[in-house]
Amino acid sequence: MSSPVVERTRIDRWLWAVRLFKTRTQATEACRGGKVRVRNEKVKPSYGVKIGELIEIQQGPITKRLGVLGLLEKRVGAKLVPDFMDDMTPPEEYELLRQTAAQAILRRDRGSGRPTKKERREIEELFWGE
């Protein structure tokens, strides 16, 4: 029994299926909040995405750029995601994300005392990459 050939699928379902969001509700809210764009236009959760389209998603401080290689209706394992999605996000965006995370770890409020053991390990990992 083979599954029917699908030409379009809902963008919120596709984003969830390729593991960009933990829940489909989060994917739907990102679409409604204007965080998801196709051809530089905000899209609704019901937008029918098709193969070959370029999707831009604003996630925190970075904008991810993704190419649609295949359509999905159900969630797939992490190892299968590259068969359906091409991550075209520039490396500079990921570097910005890393720097933002580093700043959050290094920032300490005045009078908060010494770093905890967990915080110290995070700081050491930043500087020495253990």
Query: pTM, whole model, 2 decimals?
Result: 0.72
Domains, the chain, in order of start with CATH, read 1-89 (3.10.290.10), 90-130 (no CATH)
pLDDT in tens, the chain (130 residues): 445 566 889 999 999 999 999 999 999 999 999 999 999 999 999 999 999 999 999 988 889 999 999 998 899 999 999 999 999 988 888 788 777 777 766 777 777 788 889 888 887 887 776 5
Nearest to 45 by CA among 11, 6, 9, 8: 11
CA distance 17 to 58: 18
> Tokens 């070959």 — which residue?
52
What is the helix (H) or strand (E) element at residue 49, kind and residue range?
strand 48-49
Note whether 13 and 72 are within 8 A (CB).
yes
